[in-house]
Amino acid sequence: MQRWHGQQRRIGITGGIASGKSSIGRFLKEVQGLPILDADIYAKEALNPGQPCSEKVIERYGKSITIQDSSIPQKINRSALAEKIFSSSIERIWLEQLIHPIVRNRFNQELMHLKSKPTVVLIIPLLFEANLHNICSEIWLIDCEPEQQIERLIKRDHLTQKQAIDRISAQWPIEVKRTLADLVIHNNGIKEAWSEQINSLF
């Protein structure tokens, strides 16, 4: 797959949901001192009240996905929205087609601001699904056992097992992503294992 070939080293970090991408991002920021760009942050900002993307989502789903609080008009209930999109592939694809271009534009803007930095880290859960591989010079896949992934997701987001499995299944199979990544980092719960592997890459 196509990669970024400029002078700047752009490390794209991806992996299944709840695989540990954020933990490794924090490690790269705190230990290696690298700037971090996070697709999840940009996607969440796009759904803030008053944003064009947020207004389109509310127009499609109505009050069923808004928080009924007069002090915060037109604020999206993210849990209710998640139930909508993870229960229907049609709705999930519609939302992704709306948000992915916004996320790409934000990355381009932030990369322009950071163009003098020798290395930048881009955390992109849907890196392959959103065709963002071409803004990365290398791609690291964070991998873990499926059972750990489900357990972490249930604990983190207070989901049922079925909800956790539905969210995992909405992404490309991890087996496919392994074949597309340049490096696989195993995050099976022992921090020292992956921290040594990452430090050896700098």
Q: Which residues in 89-187 belong to E strands, given as ranges? A: 119-123, 138-143, 183-186
Task: With beta carbons less than 8 A apart as the criterion, state whether 8 and 119 touch.
Answer: yes
**In the chain, ranges of CATH 3.40.50.300 domains:** 1-35+118-202
- pLDDT tops 80 at residue 165: yes
Please write the tens of the pLDDT for every residue from 19-78: 999 999 999 999 999 999 999 999 999 999 999 999 999 999 998 999 877 666 689 999
pTM: 0.91
Domain 1-35+118-202 sits in CATH 1.10.1240.10: no
Element (H, E) at 171: none
The pLDDT value recorded for residue 114 is 98
